[in-house]
Structure 1
Amino acid sequence: MLDLYFNAKHRNCAGVTRRDFVRVGALTAGGLTMAQLQALAAAGGSPGKLPGKAVICIWLDGGPTHMETFDPKPQAPAEYRGPFGAIQTSVPGVYLSEVFPKTARLMHRISLVRSVYHNNGDHFAAGHWMWTGYHGSNAANRDPMYPSFGAIIAKHRGPNFPGMPAFVAVPYAAVIGLRPGYQSAAFLGVAYNPFDAGGDPNSPNFKVPNLNLPSGVSSLRMEERRGLLRELDRVRREIDQRRLMEGMDEFNRRAFELVTGERARKAFDIHSEDPKLRDLYGRNSVGQSALLARRLVEAGVTCVTVHSGGWDNHSGIENAMKAHGPRTDAAISALITDLIQRGLYDDVIVMVMGEFGRTPRVNPSAGRDHWGNAMTVLLAGGGIRPGVVVGATDEKGTRPIRDAVKPAHILHTVYRQMGIDPSIKHINRAGRPIPVLNEGEPIGQLV
């Protein structure tokens, strides 16, 4: 770790030696790297119109089957309908896969968009599209091209409570094996990337690193380090031709609040939660991640993403759904119920989605392949009109036949509830102004 008490001799006109300035790239605040410092700060601009709103997105990485989740086709031929039946929900005439009985009982609190499409079966292109609302990255060029909705929320809304990051990923940010992948801020800068909670919240040893002062470092010494950071940053700005240092004061301020405050530590301490509630969510990674997400938004985080992997089921979809389904069902239903009981349902949008659906016809390996022509997105809370099913697919689940929407329509709807104007433009790395979204509109049936 870098010693922040420099020798006073041989300093330049700003009071910093050349050697000290060269070493500032390794400068840490209590052991954090500069990249971590920026991510923890999750610096945001001015508060949005609805400063109390938040988003929790459960990301089903790999592409969940729509037939075995939220758009079953019980009347289709066996090779299409798959191995599971359908069950009636709490909304008359609306059915879910029998794998989701707990979610089905809450359908009157949930809405489904069954007509989402982008016609792309490339994991990377599809993942980028769902997270950003833009067609851009693909398997040949995987680098993020546009900022994720989480990064947009972090920039324009900031945290709902001082001392908390605006954008957190539990247990980590990942899309199609890329970290942070298309959850990244792209040209907005790393300050708006998600902060990874790290580790498995279901582990008895789960603990988020870097939320405590290092051994032997007092709050006073931390303040001294903070003052030195400000001094060094002034020097860096003098030679910063690309203005990359703009906003660093705010990043640093929030990072210090996070490290020296109690709020974040308490929110991340899932072990202090009622064991019965932990059981309700499910003693597994996705269940405990969803519970941690609720704790974080309650403490002031504005956007939390929950990663659930293993949904790319090209074979053995029956066994895969028997494993994934009950865990995901419990996590979704417990989260929504918990938000309702805590009076947070109207303030927190819950999203459940993946990058695409799966082929309507079961393949010879008893699985389903990539299918960007039809998928379902679940939305609940945060002012989203409940108990609504938007759109429909045909009798075999191959394509939308009513009210077809693209990923941008989903994000328009979320941004509207969050008080963010999608016509706002940001400057990309090429110096071009890019709107938050360049197509679509909010889904009228939901707002």
Structure 2
Amino acid sequence: MLELMGHSSPRAQGPSRRSFLKAGFLGLAGLNLADLLRIEAAAKAAGQPKGRDLSVILVWLDGGPPQHETYDPKPDAPIDFRGPLNSIETCVPGIRISELFPQHAGMMDKMSIIRSMHHHNGDHFAAAHWMLTGVLGSSAADLAPQYPSAGSIIAKLKGPKTPGMPAYVGLPQTHSVGLAPGYHGAAYLGLGYNPFSADGDPNSDGYQVPNLAPPAGVDLPRIEGRRSLLGAFDHVRRDVDASGLMDGLDQFSQNAFTMVSSPATRAAFDIRKESPKLRDRYGRHIWGQSALMARRLVQAGVRFVTLTYGGWDFHSSLEVGMKRVLPIVDSAVATLVDDLEMHGMLDSTVVLVMGEFGRTPRINQGLAGIDPVPGRDHWGEVMSVLVAGGGFAQGRVIGSSNSRGEVPKDCPVTPPDLLVTLYRQMGIDPETSFKNRAGRPISIGSTGRVISELC
């Protein structure tokens, strides 16, 4: 932006010659400062992607779901690749999915599947970081999050849809590969952009989100008084805080005060307001009720909700495991998509279903001496991602894997491609950068390409 008084460096003692020339140009052109600021704002807006006012629900299958048993079955492959499950037709001719996804099958015209996602990494930590942030950073040897998650970036750039609601919530708790919040977190963006972790089981009687009610004996006027007092003592110079820590703490404090003092926030978490019939459709378990809670939160104005469903690391007992977890995902995800559509929210809400990687194409012999029942090991060479809503293409398969589900056959897609596509759909410039803890500007998506087949 034009600086009429020169640079804000400590060396600056007054207007520079360049500033006077700029001011003279304004006068000759018959413009005032307000005119120029409007011109600059319009030019900046013209260069930004035009997006939708979207919310996002990420269903995170922590541990790595198998592509063969979910969204990319291989019914014609040899048995040791095909696996123990059959496939079924969907309502979209030519698209087959797992036999344990019958509700998905009836909703496939509202969903699309990316079958060519890949990143070449079988490390839980590195892969989760890559999928959630779009950047290869952490690993089993260095667990600390290196970059902010897409949820944190969107929370910072977009904020909540409704003032007073949290921008980013994790259900039923927030973790990735056992780390909380792990790679769902904000890293150098600061604590204020971490997800609010709801914790607890919304399927239990008397469920209440911890820390949403004021402490005993503390009423709302006292809360506001404490907020004002903290503000009065806050004289830290943020212009020398390259890490952004103080900004993050500011946002964290603001979020905490707002949520504790907001009846609307507490009401959004009150799942008892939903009909028993709808709750039954989602599934009377922690995952189904968390999916219903996600819809309630988005409806109330939360921008980004992550639903973490762990336990997908099936190195053994694959068939038993799939028959346990897939029906849960089937009812929760299919009902969520249908419920969003019934509420007129599907076009304004993106639903993503994914994990950190896929599983090995060939069935193994299980874990010797522990559980010698066949399973699948880690596989980052290809995996599947489900996408629904948000104005994205419906009833479509993007990319494919080869005949045995080993590698992408066409239209290979990477984690940054997926996130850049999401950012663009939301009107976020992927070239946007934030300073890391060393003060270096880091772009949020410069290595990705828009998945045009999805848009």
Q: TM-score range by the shorter chain?
A: 0.7 to 0.9
Aligned length: 401
Alpha-carbon distance change, 363 to 430 in structure 1, aligned in 2, over 3 angstroms: same
Aligned to 2:77: 76
Alpha-carbon distance change, 249 to 181 in structure 1, aligned in 2, over 3 angstroms: closer
Aligned to 1:339: 340
Alpha-carbon distance change, 248 to 145 in structure 1, aligned in 2, over 3 angstroms: closer
The structure 1 residue matched to 2:407, chosen from 373, 382, 399, is 399
TM-score normalized by structure 2?
A: 0.85
The structure 2 residue matched to 1:429, chosen from 429, 432, 437, is 437
Aligned to 1:33: none
Matches within 5 A, 1:189-338: 189-234=190-235, 236-237=236-237, 244-246=245-247, 251-338=252-339
Amino acid corresponding to residue 186 of structure 1 in structure 2: A
Distance 2:179 2:248 in 1: 27
Aligned to 1:381: 389
Matches within 5 A, 1:37-76: 50=51, 52-76=53-77
Task: Tell me if the contact between 2:147 and 2:188 (Cα under 8 Å) persists in the aligned partners.
Answer: yes
Aligned to 2:450: 442
- Identify the range of structure 1 (247-256 vs 207-216) with the bigger mean alpha-carbon deviation: 247-256
Amino acid corresponding to residue 405 of structure 2 in structure 1: G
Task: Tell me if the contact between 1:199 and 1:208 (Cα under 8 Å) persists in the aligned partners.
Answer: yes
Deviations along 1:396-440, whole A, 9 cap, x unmatched? 000111001111111111111221111111111122111001312
Task: Tell me if the contact between 1:96 and 1:104 (Cα under 8 Å) persists in the aligned partners.
Answer: yes
Aligned to 2:25: none
Structure 1 residue 256: deviation in Å? 2.4
Structure 1 residue 254: deviation in Å? 4.0
Aligned to 1:96: 97
Aligned to 1:32: none
Amino acid corresponding to residue 397 of structure 1 in structure 2: G
Structure 1 residue 186: deviation in Å? 0.8
Matches within 5 A, 1:151-162: 151-162=152-163
Structure 1 residue 115: deviation in Å? 0.2
Structure 1 residue 244: deviation in Å? 3.8
Amino acid corresponding to residue 439 of structure 1 in structure 2: T
- Give the unaligned 5+ runs of structure 1: 1-45
Amino acid corresponding to residue 410 of structure 1 in structure 2: L
Amino acid corresponding to residue 174 of structure 2 in structure 1: A
Alpha-carbon distance change, 116 to 200 in structure 1, aligned in 2, over 3 angstroms: same
Structure 1 residue 238: deviation in Å? 8.8
Give the superposed CA RMSD: 1.9
Structure 1 residue 219: deviation in Å? 2.1
The structure 1 residue matched to 2:425, chosen from 401, 417, 421, is 417
Task: Tell me if the contact between 1:51 and 1:160 (Cα under 8 Å) persists in the aligned partners.
Answer: no
Amino acid corresponding to residue 291 of structure 1 in structure 2: L
Task: State the secondary structure of the residue aligned to 2:112.
Answer: strand
Structure 1 residue 270: deviation in Å? 1.0
Task: Tell me if the contact between 1:65 and 1:368 (Cα under 8 Å) persists in the aligned partners.
Answer: yes
Task: Tell me if the contact between 2:52 and 2:425 (Cα under 8 Å) persists in the aligned partners.
Answer: no
Distance 1:109 1:307 in 2: 22
Amino acid corresponding to residue 99 of structure 1 in structure 2: L
Distance 1:51 1:162 in 2: 18
Amino acid corresponding to residue 303 of structure 1 in structure 2: F
Distance 2:322 2:250 in 1: 48
Distance 1:70 1:329 in 2: 11
Task: Tell me if the contact between 2:191 and 2:248 (Cα under 8 Å) persists in the aligned partners.
Answer: no
Distance 2:85 2:239 in 1: 63
Task: Tell me if the contact between 2:189 and 2:245 (Cα under 8 Å) persists in the aligned partners.
Answer: no
Distance 1:49 1:191 in 2: 27
Alpha-carbon distance change, 115 to 186 in structure 1, aligned in 2, over 3 angstroms: same
Alpha-carbon distance change, 399 to 247 in structure 1, aligned in 2, over 3 angstroms: closer
Residue 367 (structure 1) aligned with residue 368 (structure 2): no
Alpha-carbon distance change, 163 to 86 in structure 1, aligned in 2, over 3 angstroms: same
Aligned to 1:117: 118
Amino acid corresponding to residue 156 of structure 1 in structure 2: L
Aligned to 1:14: none
Percent of aligned positions with the same letter in both sequences? 52
- Identify the range of structure 1 (238-247 vs 133-142) with the bigger mean alpha-carbon deviation: 238-247
Task: State the secondary structure of the residue aligned to 1:168.
Answer: strand
